[in-house]
Amino acid sequence: MSVELLTRVAVIGGGAAGIMAAIAARHAGAGVTILEKNQRVGKKILATGNGRCNLTNVGLEITNYHGKDPEFAREALSRFNVRKTIDFFEYLGITHKVEDGGKVFPCSEQASSVLDVMRYELDETGVKVICEADVKEIRKNAREFVVNLADGRAIHADRVIIATGGKAAPQLGSNGSGYVLAEKFGHKIIKPFPALVQLKLAAKFLKQVKGIKFAGYAEIIVNNRPVAGARGEILFAEYGVSGPPILSLSRKAGEYMQKNQKVHLKLSLIDYLSGRKLEEYLSRRLQTRPEKPLAFSFVGFINKRLAPVVLREAGIADANKPAGRITAGELGNIVRILKDWRFEITGTTSWPNAQVSAGGVDVAEVNAQTLESKIVSGLYFAGEVLDIDGDCGGFNLQWAWSSGYVAGESAAARL
């Protein structure tokens, strides 16, 4: 099928950044067409915030962002900031609420409501949406861009915004196609890797402890030096560990592993007591009922499935010897494991488990004020396709809204 369509601004990708870019460009007066390869736009929005859509975060700082040059994000985040984002969604119909950690959610508790009002705005303002539009090539001639689809259709546009996302959650449509399109125009791609993802650990006992949760502290260690830490609920799994603190730290771990450095994870299972206080408490506990089997003496203090593993890691061969026969050295080893348990990180789980992609289009080749390519006039980028990624907690969606708005408005303004 060979069909030719005309538009002023073509937005490649109908995710959070692409929809925002389309709305911003349309509000600025441009004719806009979204090209989305899924059967429907906004599929990934439905999965954000565990189906609740963590719109943004009122505690946003530039330090919540990462990449080769995180400062690049400051301009867009300032132009379409948290307050403007909240006001925009209130205008669309989303009443918001702020929860712990500054996270902003719709009062409806439904990510679908966010997508519903955005789709309504696309329809009301006349943005053309073409789904099942698999972009295979973008060419630029002297007058315009020509976007060729896999089915033979061609879209002619004055401006193109690439908002295809990264490689995270490919089951929702992200497959790294935007990197290929950008590379063909001469852009450098910072090698992508999964972020906000679970960590794999080198440990033989993981099957024994999988499913065990604890509230503790996790720290990334490189060359015996802590480089990042986070507190919260941590979950042991057959492959390693998960939980909010682990997802937050995975980006830093991945960054060092990309440099082929050995990275370790320190877990503190008992974070609420100092080492000395913990040792004093355990000494009293074990001597109060010295006849109890040692492993059983920990029942009621830590998860009972953890006790034999902790004792074995502490070098205690007989987990069932009387608690009163524990030596000072053995007690010290138990305290060390509970306070400073070290694991080698062997990697992360794969792209389908990642919430976001780290890496992407090198921002050194993009204008921070307009998000226009410095290499190709009229070509813009928005969202995760760029080498900018945020912490867990609404920061990545804010980058999608901010960068989409700036790219869309800038593309329309150039017309």
Q: Are 261 and 289 in contact (CB under 8 A)?
A: no
Q: Do 70 and 150 share a domain, yes or no?
A: yes
Handedness of CA 390, 13, 106, 127 (dihedral sign): positive
CA 251 – CA 197 distance, rounded (Å)? 8
Domain endpoint, select from 319, 348, 377: 348
Reported as a single tens digit per residue, the pLDDT across 307-332 is 999 999 999 999 999 999 999 999 99
Contacts for 339 with CB less than 8 Å, ≥ 6 apart? 268, 269, 270, 275, 278
Average pLDDT estimate for 239-268? 96
Domain endpoint, select from 306, 329, 348: 348
What are the structure tokens assigned to 191, written together? 């090698």
More confident residue, 2 or 331: 331
CA 397 – CA 384 distance, rounded (Å)? 9
pLDDT at 2: 46
CA 322 – CA 403 distance, rounded (Å)? 63
What are the structure tokens assigned to 271, written together? 């974070």
Residues β-bridged to residue 254: none
Closest CA to 376 of 241, 210, 199, 185: 185
Strand pairing report for 379-381 and 154-162: parallel
Q: Do 327 and 402 share a domain, yes or no?
A: no
Residue 211 belongs to a domain: yes
Q: Do 221 and 186 share a domain, yes or no?
A: no
Domain endpoint, select from 326, 348, 370: 348
Residue 362 belongs to a domain: yes
Q: Do 270 and 288 share a domain, yes or no?
A: yes
Q: Do 228 and 117 share a domain, yes or no?
A: no
Q: Do 290 and 339 share a domain, yes or no?
A: yes
CA 167 – CA 40 distance, rounded (Å)? 18
End-to-end CA separation in angstroms for the chain: 30
Q: Do 149 and 24 share a domain, yes or no?
A: yes
Answer yes or no: is pLDDT of 201 > 90: yes
Q: Do 23 and 169 share a domain, yes or no?
A: yes
Reported as a single tens digit per residue, the pLDDT across 147-183 is 999 999 999 999 999 999 999 999 998 999 999 999 9
Q: Which domain holds residue 224?
A: 198-348
Q: Do 185 and 204 share a domain, yes or no?
A: no
Q: Do 308 and 384 share a domain, yes or no?
A: no
Answer yes or no: is pLDDT of 279 > 60: yes
CATH at 130: 3.50.50.60
Please name the residue ranges forming H helices in 127-202: 177-184
If you search the block for the tokens 């290499």, which residue do you land on? 375
Q: Do 290 and 374 share a domain, yes or no?
A: no
Answer yes or no: is pLDDT of 5 > 70: no
Number of domains in the chain: 2
Residue 203 belongs to a domain: yes
Q: What is the dihedral of CA 262, 193, 392, 226, to 10 degrees?
A: 10
Q: Do 175 and 92 share a domain, yes or no?
A: yes
Reported as a single tens digit per residue, the pLDDT across 83-137 is 999 999 999 999 999 999 999 999 999 999 999 999 999 999 999 999 999 999 9
Residue 353 belongs to a domain: no
Angle at 2 between CA 13 and CA 127, to 5 degrees: 35
